[in-house]
Amino acid sequence: MTTTRAIITISLLALGATPALAEAAPPAIDAGDTAWIIAATGLVLMMTIPGLALFYCGMVRKKNVLATMAQSLLCTALCSILWVVVGYSLAFNGDGALIGNFDKIMLQGIGMNSVAPATKIPEMLFMAYQMTFAIITVALVAGSVADRMRFSAFVWFAALWLLFIYVPIAHWVWGGGWLTPDATAMKPGILDFAGGTVVHLNAGVAGLVAAYLVGSRQGYGSDNFAPYDLSLAVIGTGLLWVGWFGFNGGSALGANSRAVFAIVATHLAASMGALTWMALEWWTRGKPSVLGMISGAVAGLGTITPASGFVLPWHGIVIGLVAGAICFWACTKLKQKLGYDDSLDVFGVHGVGGITGTLLCGVFAVAAVGETAGLLEGNPSQLLYQVYGIVAVAVWSGVGTVILLKVIEFMVPLRVSKQSEIEGLDVTQHGEALQ
Amino acid sequence: MKMIIAIIKPFKLEDVRDALTSTGIQGMTVAEVKGYGRQKGHKEIYRGAEYAVNFLPKIRVDVAVDDNQVDKVVEVIANAAKTGQIGDGKIFVTGIDSAVRIRTGETDSDAL
């Protein structure tokens, strides 16, 4: 009892002493910022499960619905563990040009009072928020090889691709690597607010390469690959759309006007993307399809991502318009011309959208919003940095994905057998099927 | 006894059922089927990829009737199911060798 009382007395004394210190140094962790990023972390996780899982599974055939959902689920579970074990430390700790360091493996050194650099949120929250980005990027790639990739090969791919492709690129662009801009050090770099290069271009290029290496589906171009249930894809799109408020708005890493500007720009780009794709389809094909509307919305969302915290909200309308048109062209014309079978158009929507948005960010960037001016404000060099960043990310993602898939092919075939593909991945890979 | 098999447009099922009921037909069997005739299928387009849908959804109505009712029932179905557009369907008439009402054991015309 005496000791307890003594401890309480000491604690009270200590508490009494702190206010003076607190006035000198304001609390490092801001409750408002932290609350918003906790919510945003949940929103971005929701984008993968169930958002992307539903968006993708609604577009495949009935025999592959569960296998497609399994890929999103696997990415969520596997990438979360790998991110905590080593991914976060390599991506966001240390200022090496190419890669971070191992100082924070297993979250070592992230304590109750650790604050993420240049923010007022706990570092543990920043780690968790970035984890959700890593998850969805890997899960996005899966769409290009849906309907035919062997699940065991995909498990290897998800793990290796996260560590060797996503982690270095996240470090280059966001984690203090050679592409990260640093105003205090007068170091220019690429503007990528929420992942036009790190997430969308990266996943799109990897998806394109994987579609080539894994090969086209049996019956591509002759059999009927009509989607199983587009209503699921519509629900998935809705979850992605709302989740994207956390993706882009949360990338402000605080509860502030920049977050709100990013959210409004995001919403306008999604809306304009959907309208544009719908109009083009109506005009060229005679009917405005539901698949077209949701494709346009996701194209708008992916394209505004890099620009969202650097431009004015109304720029979202212009960016959404361009996104809807270019991605429509990429999915309907470019794909036919190149002859690859990217099942769910990861390249056509995310790859092309990521490039477009990263370039348009360099055009429209407004110094009053994101402290960096773009081409229209008389800073043409920023557009060159954007091109530079796009090329670097595309080359690393493309070449790296080829090497990884070749390595995995030594261990396990990338594709299921022809017979399994015809029977369906649900029953042959997972022993389950929709009845 | 004859079996009348009508393949009709799905949205015409209620019209056909109402018309048959008002002519005194007491039972029928209905199934959702797929098929095509001279109408062939149609094209569906998904993100630019065109797929031919060869088999269209139809409804098949089976009605068993006495020989003297056949012409009337065929006419009733044809009138009720007609839209004048391509794809209205077809009616087939075929013989029935025997019939049994399971509950009572009645046979042939008594079982209808």
- Domain membership of residue A18 (yes or no) is no
- Domain membership of residue A247 (yes or no) is yes
Output the pLDDT for position B48: 81
The mean per-residue pLDDT over the stretch B12-25 comes to 95
Q: How far is A227 from chain B (nearest CA, A)?
A: 8
- Domain membership of residue A309 (yes or no) is yes
Q: Is the Cβ pair A332, B53 closer than 8 Å?
A: no
Residue bearing tokens 């158009």: A345
- Domain membership of residue A12 (yes or no) is no
Output the pLDDT for position A223: 87
pTM: 0.87
Q: Which residues of B touch A348 (CB under 8 A)?
A: 47
Concatenating the DSSP letter of every residue in A8-75 gives HHHHHHHHHHHHHHHHHS--SS-HHHHHHHHHHHHHHHHIIIIIIHHHHHTTS-GGGHHHHHHHHHHH
Q: Given the DSSP bridges, would you call strands B56-65 and B29-35 parallel, antiparallel or unpaired?
A: antiparallel
| DSSP state letter for B84 | S
| DSSP state letter for A274 | H
- Domain membership of residue A381 (yes or no) is yes
Residue of B nearest to A60 (CA): B46
Q: What 3-state DSSP class applies to A419? A: helix
**How many domains does chain A divide into?**
1
For the domain spanning B2-111, the CATH number is: 3.30.70.120
Q: Which of B46, B51, B52 shows the shortest C-beta gap to A291? A: B46
List, for chain A, all residue ranges whose pLDDT scores fall below the cut of 70. Answer: 1-27
- Domain membership of residue A5 (yes or no) is no
Q: Which of A224, A287, A331 shows the shortest C-beta gap to B47? A: A331
Query: Measured between alpha carbons, how far is A112 from B44 in angstroms, rounded to an integer?
Result: 57
ipTM of the complex in this document: 0.73
Show the tokens assigned to A107.
Answer: 């979250």
Q: Is A227 on the interface with B (CB under 8 A)?
A: yes
Output the pLDDT for position A38: 98
Cβ-based neighbours of A224, under 8 Å, separated by 6 or more = B51, B52, B53
Give the domain CATH number at A160. Answer: 1.10.3430.10
Domain that holds residue A119: 30-180+187-430
Query: Measured between alpha carbons, how far is A37 from A45 in angstroms, rounded to an integer?
Result: 12
Output the pLDDT for position A16: 46
